[in-house]
Amino acid sequence: MKNPAKKILISGCALLLLSCNSKVENQETTTTENPQVESKSADATQNPGKFDIESIPVSDKPLGEFPFFSLPKGVQEQNKAVKRSYDMLFFPIDGVMTPLNGKVWKTNVVVSKDNPETWSLPYFLSSYDEIITAKGGVKIFDAKVSKAEMDRIKDQATYFGEEGSVDYWNEAVKTYVIRRPAGDDVYVQISGNSSAGVLQILQKAALKQTITMLTADQIQKDLAEKGKAVLYVNFDTNKAVMKPDGLDAVAEIDKALKADKTIKIAIHGYTDNAGEAAYNLDLSKKRAKAVKSELEKRGIEASRLVSEGFGQTNPIADNATEEGKAQNRRVELVKK
Q: Is residue 8 part of a domain?
A: no
Q: Is residue 36 part of a domain?
A: no
Identify whether residues 279 and 164 lie together within a single domain: no
Q: What is the mean pLDDT of residues 257-270?
A: 96
**Smallest Cα–Cα separation from 164: which of 106, 125, 87?**
106
Identify whether residues 196 and 225 lie together within a single domain: no
pLDDT at 25 over 60: no
Q: What is the mean pLDDT of residues 275-304?
A: 95
Which of 21-30, 91-100, 238-247 bottoms out in mean pLDDT, i.e. has the lowest?
21-30
Which of 8-17, 83-92, 231-240, 323-332 bottoms out in mean pLDDT, i.e. has the lowest?
8-17
Question: What whole-number distance in Å separates Cα of residue 87 and Cα of residue 321?
Answer: 5
Identify whether residues 131 and 276 lie together within a single domain: no
**Helix 277-297 and helix 244-259: axis angle, to 10°?**
60
Q: What is the mean pLDDT of residues 257-272?
A: 95
Rounded (10°) CA dihedral 215, 219, 225, 231? 100
Identify whether residues 153 and 192 lie together within a single domain: yes
Q: Is 315 helix (H, G, I), strand (E, B) or coil?
A: coil
Residues 248 and 275: beta-carbon distance below 8 Å: no
Instruction: Summarize pLDDT for 148-200 with one digit per residue, the tens.
Output: 999 999 888 888 999 999 999 999 999 999 999 999 999 999 999 999 999 99
Q: Is 139 helix (H, G, I), strand (E, B) or coil?
A: strand
Please count the structural domains in the chain: 2
Identify whether residues 187 and 48 lie together within a single domain: yes
Instruction: Summarize pLDDT for 107-131 with one digit per residue, the tens.
Output: 999 999 999 999 999 999 999 999 9
The CATH number assigned to the domain holding 248 equals 3.30.1330.60
Which of 6-15, 188-197, 233-242, 301-310 bottoms out in mean pLDDT, i.e. has the lowest?
6-15
**Smallest Cα–Cα separation from 267: which of 319, 324, 330?**
330
Which of 30-39, 76-85, 235-244, 296-305 bottoms out in mean pLDDT, i.e. has the lowest?
30-39
Q: Is residue 25 part of a domain?
A: no
Q: Is residue 89 part of a domain?
A: yes
Residue 189 confidence (pLDDT): 98
Identify whether residues 59 and 191 lie together within a single domain: yes
**Smallest Cα–Cα separation from 164: which of 193, 124, 200?**
200
Q: Is residue 6 part of a domain?
A: no
Please, what is the average pLDDT of the chain?
A: 87
Q: Is residue 95 part of a domain?
A: yes
Identify whether residues 59 and 183 lie together within a single domain: yes
Instruction: Summarize pLDDT for 217-246 with one digit per residue, the tens.
Output: 999 999 999 999 999 998 988 899 999 999
Q: What is the mean pLDDT of residues 12-24?
A: 42
- Domain interval for residue 83: 44-204
pLDDT at 1 over 60: no
Cα 299 to Cα 255, 295, 302, 304: the distances in Å are 11, 7, 9, 11
Residue 154 confidence (pLDDT): 85
Identify whether residues 52 and 163 lie together within a single domain: yes
